Structure 1
């Protein structure tokens, strides 16, 4: 296709600079821009480049990712349009973000605080962007434009801070609450968002910090000490925030552990120490929200148990539900593509995207047979969590009872049996629970 026929738009380009590279990020950005705009290529959908004819890029760049094109090319929410659109790299506006990954071979560092001369593991601590979270964002699949909404929220937060909007007039608290059933990827989405923000704002912040608070660890065995522990934890976080070159993301998983409704506590059904914890947390959130380089990410499986004052402080309260069949299809498709890439399923077979199936009106032929079979399996899988769905291809290979590469047809038969068995096991567990 000629470039003049494709659409003009702004593309997000994420450049992962090699860990051993000492080149200036501005130099890398300039060479990537030149490489992409001189290529005279058109793209449809996200593109990942890992090989470069340019010697400079080959030495200094690990990968170039052109991303978020679902939103850019459709002009709306991800998956909202089945029409095909292309974009010419030579004509597009390129928003390039260059970053280097921090190596986390030993996992997160531990943040400890003193409790009555005893050290408590209060949080995990990562430097961002981290190798541990690389690719996580791209592999989280939802039916609605959750990821785009969260990115836009963070951008607006930064914009308002840059323009010195008076938060006493226009209020925002830098708090996100993701809620929904277990296994839907809420915690993973928080970590992936923290990573993505550090990449997208790499020109503004030199590095990022992710602090995952251990909610259960902050309840002291000493009466009335838990509120003080919360304050000590946020004192440590304040030290990180005081560095203007750092973007600090605070993750509180299962936030109901720290923000149990005070109404229950005052009625006597919860210990009074939980009131002190809620009060301490709300006070600390109000204290740090004046800083432009912090965002608080929280998750909950039990929103009804959370104190209303905390819920009210959340700028975004996003429900993360179980995936629908189209989302399940995309999850299975990504899993099977990985198994084909590694040779576990062979020979490789093409699986069409949901948009392609919609355009072809789900008519079965040689080109659509495997894809339609996978969509039928996706419909049968409705009601399973994303965590379970990504485990099923592994269990399917166990059920295939083969140590050799298997064909896609054989693998999908094994996957079909695994889905049936998954619902049978769930039914058995529910029956056992009811009997007990």
Structure 2
């Protein structure tokens, strides 16, 4: 089953059936459809221009299914919440603590984030399969004492590899695809550092209070709830260090509180717990064992970097900062790129190899730095921009080495 998402404009009053019918007509005539594509320019199709923000095609969709109107397609229609993140605060003694940051899903802030996160392996697809299986087992009332699942994910790896963004994007994507099943959804991103009160003895109580709020929200069976704990090692620090005297005893109470609260959340079939860590060796083993999926997120390879740079260049070509609109081959044609040296695509692949070792966060900055530091005009040719990107990569590597050598 493949999904086509239709994001309806908030001002539109059209019915779901009408939107699907018109999107089908548009896609049957549209040229250049590809899996994972986000369509937002509907040319002269006024109905879609007036009512649809964008159409998102499944990353595994078969073009033949769209052309034939195959019943393997699932059409999802939803609107985006535009209010952005809201803070949940608590007055603690003489200071205000931000316990969590909350999004109503699907959120305009997270729109297309999933599509712009690039990984070479099946990480994203496996997460979606995890969500589908979890909900399938819940719907069929599988006995948790026989087949257990905590509905918990742990993403770990070096900083800047997109772990937090992937958690947010996953929550947004699942909430969007299940819009017909759950009338509302939200992402609760716990502020781990705020839960460590300056009064050590209060930290465990703050954790309990935070999860009590989450349980209250989860009581509504029509709500889908995602709980994100970023840098989870700060809340679930290995208790062996505390027992050896290198950590305050209050950290043991915090870890015990976190584990207890997570165990209590298992009875809610509408809750997913998403966690990230840069230092898995610092996480309590009991917490790690509770995660159903423990996925390592590595620094991107040269081919993944090529795809990141490709999407950046396409955006610059779209707005005209790179002009004229020269052709650069997508990552799906890398084999062709490798056999055709001296082309712009081959230059981009060379820059991608040069960029191996940089984080995804850094890669997205390289085009900006290229424009800011090495180009003194508002429009450049593709080859000029590529040479500026090469210089930006070399400068970043030099600057990083300079800092690390001190």
Hey, what's the Cα distance between the residues in 2 that align with 1:43 and 1:348?
Answer: 19
Counterpart in the other structure of 1:25? 16
CA distance in 2, matches of 1:185, 1:269: 31
Partner of 2:338: 362
Q: What stretches of structure 1 move > 6 A for 4+ residues in a row?
A: none
- Give distance in 1, aligned partners of 2:390 and 2:248: 48
CA, structure 1 residues 28+354, in 2 after alignment: closer, same or farther (shift >3 Å)? closer
Indicate conservation of the 8 Å contact 1:43/1:87, yes or no.
no
Aligned-partner Cα distance in 2 for 1:39–1:336:
27
Long gaps (5+) in structure 2: none
Matched, 1:14 2:5: yes
CA distance change for structure 1 residues 283 and 108 in 2, over 3 Å: closer, same or farther? same
Range with greater deviation from structure 2 (418-427 or 320-329): 418-427
Structure 1 vs Structure 2 CA RMSD: 2.0
Query: Does residue 60 of the first structure (1) align with residue 51 of the second (2)?
Result: yes
2:361 to 387, 409, 415: 387
Task: Tell me the CA shift for residue 11 of structure 1.
Answer: 3.0
Partner of 2:323 in structure 1?
346
Name 1:89's counterpart in structure 2.
67
- Written as runs of structure 1 = structure 2, the 5 A alignment for 1:202-281 is 202-281=179-258
What is the CA distance between 1:55 and its match in structure 2? 5.5
Shift of 1:401: 3.3
Q: 2:264 aligns with which of 283, 287, 292?
A: 287
Of 146, 157, 164, 1:180 maps to 157
Q: SS where residue 401 of structure 2 aligns?
A: helix
Q: Against the structure 1 CA distance between its residues 271 and 351, is the aligned structure 2 distance closer, same or farther, given a 3 Å change threshold?
A: same
**Cα gap change, 1:427 to 1:243, in 2 (>3 Å):** same
- CA-CA distance at 1:47 after TM superposition: 3.6
Deviations 1:232-289 (A, max 9, x none): 0111111211122211100000000000001111111000111111111111111111
Alpha-carbon separation, structure 2, partners of 1:371 and 1:54: 33
Residues 337 and 346, structure 2, Cα contact 8 Å, conserved in 1 = no
2: distance between equivalents of 1:194 and 1:184? 18
Alpha-carbon shift at residue 114 of structure 1 (Å) = 4.2
Deviation at 1:290, TM superposition (A): 1.1
Query: Are residues 363 and 20 of structure 1, via their aligned partners in 2, closer, same or farther at CA, if it must alter by over 3 Å?
Result: same
After TM superposition, give the deviation of residue 355 of structure 1 in Å.
2.6
- List runs of 5+ in structure 1 lacking aligned partners: 1-9, 74-84
Which residue pairs with 1:3 in the alignment?
none
Deviations 1:407-432 (A, max 9, x none): 11111111111111111111111111
Residues 256 and 305 of structure 1 are in contact (CA less than 8 Å); yes or no, is this contact kept in structure 2?
A: yes
Pick closer, same or farther for the CA change 1:408–1:34 going to 2, 3 Å. Answer: closer
Q: In structure 2, do the counterparts of structure 1 residues 385 and 284 end up closer, same or farther at CA, with 3 Å as the change threshold?
A: same
Q: Distance in 2 between matches of 1:151 and 1:322?
A: 21
Is 2:380 aligned against 1:431?
A: no
Residue 401 (structure 1) aligned with residue 370 (structure 2): no
Structure 1 residue 59: deviation in Å?
3.3
1:357, distance to aligned residue in structure 2 (A)? 3.0
Question: What TM-score, normalized to structure 1?
Answer: 0.88
Alpha-carbon distance between aligned partners in 2 of 1:152 and 1:314, rounded to the nearest angstrom: 16
Whole-angstrom CA distance in 1 between matches of 2:337 and 2:306: 16
Given that 1:325 and 1:379 are in contact with CA atoms closer than 8 Å, whether structure 2 keeps it comes out as yes
